[in-house]
Structure 1
Amino acid sequence: MPASVTTAPPFSSAVMAGDTLYISGTTDHDPATGKPALDATAGAKIVLDNIKKTVEKAGLTMDDLVWVQIFASDLKNFAAFNAVYRTYFKGPMPARAFIGAGSLLGGAHYEVMGIAVKPK
């Protein structure tokens, strides 16, 4: 395949089923460059901005997230991630897991997935 031809990944970035949005694993690759963030703090902002865009595209907000799972390339980044993460929510925080995953796709610091529910 020529280098100029790219293929889409075999999954959706998110799927809405009824009032529930299922968000696929999203990394801290900069949408403009396709490269991972230079450091863990910048990576947290990029990945959460990417999640926020996905949630908002579905007509929801970050506060509609009920469950978030974070895979981290290094557990030492726990505090750096949390410092950024707190700024994305106004209401109660979603249930969450922070998992050390070792090497992530494309050199990412984080891969985040989640579930959001449309309020009644």
Structure 2
Amino acid sequence: MSIKITHTDKAPAAIGPYSQATVVGNLVFTSGQIPIIPETGEHVKDDIKKATRQSLENVKAILENSGSSLEKVAKVNIFISDMNNFAALNEVYSEYFSDHKPARCCVEVARLPQDNLVEIEAIAEI
């Protein structure tokens, strides 16, 4: 089985030695997406709801570029800098995953790349 690397300009470019996503068989694995606006490179750091929305929009763009969609997500991993933001994060998350509820974990971490509030990654079927 071969690994295909995918990239879209509709999501931020990788800021390190990794890919936006890899496709293995009929699965796509996104890298963690911090809330960077791809058109400007600006980070959304002032509001957890806006940051969550931007991270999910980045994941969505990568999935669609890889031949998948949010409706085909099997697993989501969320890293959050402050668990006090959990309810606000869930409010936005439920807009993206309302009827379809993939398996998920959400953990508080000491620090995220470039001091962002949230990072989200997904595994989805193609």
**What is the deviation of 1:96?**
0.3
1:12 has 2:19 as partner: yes
1:42 has 2:47 as partner: no
Trace 1:97-112 onto structure 2 (pairs within 5 A): 97-112=105-120
Pick from 28, 37, 53: which aligns with 1:30?
A: 37
What is the CA RMSD across the aligned residues, in angstroms? 1.6
* SS of equivalent to 2:32: strand
Q: Unaligned regions of 5+ residues in structure 1, if any?
A: 1-6
Distance in 2 (CA, whole Å) between partners of 1:19 and 1:59 is 10
**What is the deviation of 1:28?**
1.0
Residue type of the alignment partner of 2:85: N
Count residues in correspondence. Answer: 112
> How big is each residue's C-alpha offset from its partner over 1:72-115, in whole Å with a ceiling of 9 and x where there is no partner?
01111111111111111354211000100122111211111110
Distance in 2 (CA, whole Å) between partners of 1:78 and 1:8 is 26
Q: Unaligned regions of 5+ residues in structure 2, if any?
A: 1-13
1:61 has 2:69 as partner: yes
Q: Which residue of 2 aligns with 1:21?
A: 28
> How big is each residue's C-alpha offset from its partner over 1:8-55, in whole Å with a ceiling of 9 and x where there is no partner?
621111001110001111101222332321211110110000000001
Q: TM-score, normalised by structure 2?
A: 0.82
Work out the percentage of aligned pairs sharing the same amino acid: 32
| Larger RCO (CA under 8 A, 6+ residues apart) | 1
